[in-house]
Amino acid sequence: MCFQGALVFSQKDSVVLRVNGEEVNRSEFVRDYRLHAGSLSPKEYADAFVLRRLQVAAALAEGVDTTAVFLEQHRRHRNELMRACLMEGPETDSCKRALYVGDMAQRHAARVKLAQVFRRLPQTVTVTRLRKETKLADSLYQAMLSRSDVDFDYWVERYSDDKAVWWAEPHRLTPEFEETILSLKEGEVSKPFFSPEGLHILKLLEREEPWTYDSWSGEFAKRLERRMMTGRGDVVTERLKKELNYAPNRIGIEELLRSGSTEKALFTIGGQEYTGAMFSLFSSSCPFAVGRQLELFTVKSLLDYVDTYMEDVFPETARMLREHDEDYLATEAKRRNVEIPATNDRAAWVAYFEVHRSDYRWDTPRYKGAVLHCVSRKVARKVKRLLKKTRIEEWQDVIDKAFNCGGKETVRMECGMFAIGDNEYIDDRIFKVEKAEPMPLYPFTVTVGWIRKGPEDCREVEECVKRDYRDYLDSRWKRKLLDSSKVEINQEVLKTVNNNSPN
């Protein structure tokens, strides 16, 4: 797996490895190593890098890259990359932050969850009624403070004309409510206060966390994207015009706006002409005025250009898309060659268990059977004799029909596979490790079963066998890939790679 010949390239572009004749330069390997190696050494990562290339090649050989699922995930991820690139940059970040500031200005306090004791007062309330309600509210408030053990719901149910619990944005409420809410902490109760509707005692049950810019940046990006699609001259459109060398043809545009059509070019993007004929096809399905149609046509043309030449407009996306596709291909190749057989081929992993049965022997013996607690010695002898003649799968039915019918329970059974420490009665009677006290209502205890040193059936250790068989298939598949491929690693160049060097 090594070659030591002299290389004619500079160190930066030296070939660090070849996989089936495909060369990987040092600069490419170093970039991947820094992005994905984590704690792996260059040598360890080189082995993982080679294996990944072979897995991708296996997927391509199986035609995975032609399946509808692959093509759809490729298209979807490419669109996500394009949108992400369009929404990046200092101009768009400034606009997203402006949207955030605007939203927070409208929501200068977080939403709150409220309950209240509310005494409704009509506009024509009498002085006597007003005094009475004020005195009641003051008394209730003092009672709430002195009797903190009484839930607020009690006061609401007994005295409030409004028993609802609701979420509110303080700035959308009356000034009296807003001022009171902003003064409260979670769980606190307000002093009684008046509003145009009546008398209130509020309890602030919960306060939402305020929005942070980072948590909502994606939402603001979507808003910018929607603005861009409307063609209203947003910053994303203007940035694209600049970066893609958008050049309007004033003569063609003026003729279009004046007469509604033109044969002239309207503008160029990246040197490519967009003509009046192309606009005519677009406008036939766009029922707006000509000026608006032109705005939308310009945006669509810019986005079409980016879509067609995305890897040239945003060069880093080519690597990101390739890596995403390779991730899918490698994962799908493993799924087909390892995961599906390991999960579905029952006969294969049963055969694997039989070959490796000794690997599944337990370090300490187990007891397979049941411990039975009975109301009398006679019942204990009878149940033990009966179960010895019956298959273990039928024991519960036998107990239910013969001993626990008619609503009377004379036997309690615990059945399963027991290791030392799992059941105190098994520990006492089978493993002799500790004494167990009889159950008060079921003082006669017997056991029925067998001591086992290992599983008799692979179903007893099914998950463990499946995991081991999966590991076996994975190892065999990797070995097959390596044995059927030609891999060369230049150890001298590999030694020059480290995670800290600039090149």
pLDDT, position 285: 80
d(CA 162, CA 112): 17
**pLDDT number for residue 182:** 79
The DSSP symbol for 189 reads B
Position 2 scores a pLDDT of 41
pLDDT at 71: 94
CA–CA dist 310, 316 (Å, integer)? 10
Structure tokens given for 411: 């036997």
pTM of the model: 0.59
Q: How many CB atoms lie within 10 A of CB 181?
A: 20
C-alpha span between 20 and 488 (Å, rounded)? 8
Instruction: Tell me the DSSP string of 104-154.
Output: HHHTSS--EEEEEEEEE--TT--HHHHHHHHHHHHHHHHHHHH-TTS-HHH
pLDDT at 105: 46
Residue 17: exposure state from Cβ atoms within 10 A (0-12, 13-18, ≥19): buried
Distance CA 69, CA 361 (A): 43
Low-confidence ranges of the chain (pLDDT < 70): 1-13, 88-110, 171, 209-234, 499-503
- Rg of the chain taking only CA atoms, in angstroms: 38
Long-range pairs of 43-46 with CB within 8 A, sequence gap ≥ 24? 43/494, 46/16, 46/17, 46/489, 46/494
In this structure, how many other beta carbons lie within 10 angstroms of the beta carbon of residue 364? Answer: 9
pLDDT at 449: 93
What's the pLDDT score for residue 183? 86
Q: How distant is the alpha carbon of residue 135 from its chain centre?
A: 55
414 phi and psi angles, rounded to 5 deg: -120, 120
In this prediction, residue 222 carries a pLDDT of 59
